[in-house]
Amino acid sequence: MTVPVIPIEHVLALAAALFVMGLVGVLVRRNVIFLLMSLEIMMNACGLAFIAAGAKWGQPDGQIMFMLILALAAAEVAVALGLVLQLERRFDSLDIDTAGELSG
Partner 1 sequence: MALALFYIAAAVALASTALVITRRNAAHALIYLVVSLLSIAVIFFLLGAPFAAALEIVIYAGAIVVLFLFVVMMLNLGRRSAERERLWLQPGMWVGPSILVGVLFLMMLYVIVAGAPGTTEGTMVGPKEVGTALFGKYLLAVELAAMLLLAALIGAYHLGRRYLGDRREESSRENRP
Task: Check residue 48 for interaction with partner 1 (CB under 8 A).
Answer: yes
Do you know the residue count of the chain? 104
Strand partners, 31: 95
Q: 51 and 63 in contact (C-beta within 8 Å)?
A: yes
In the chain the first and final C-alpha atoms are separated, in Å, by 60
Q: Is 82 in the site for partner 1 (CB under 8 A)?
A: yes
User: 3-state DSSP call for residue 95?
Assistant: strand
Residue 14 lies near partner 1 (rule: CB under 8 A):
yes
Residues binding partner 1 (CB under 8 A): 1-6, 10-11, 14, 17-18, 21-22, 24-25, 28-29, 31, 33-34, 36-38, 40-41, 44, 47-48, 51-52, 54-55, 58-64, 66-68, 70-79, 81-86, 88-89, 94
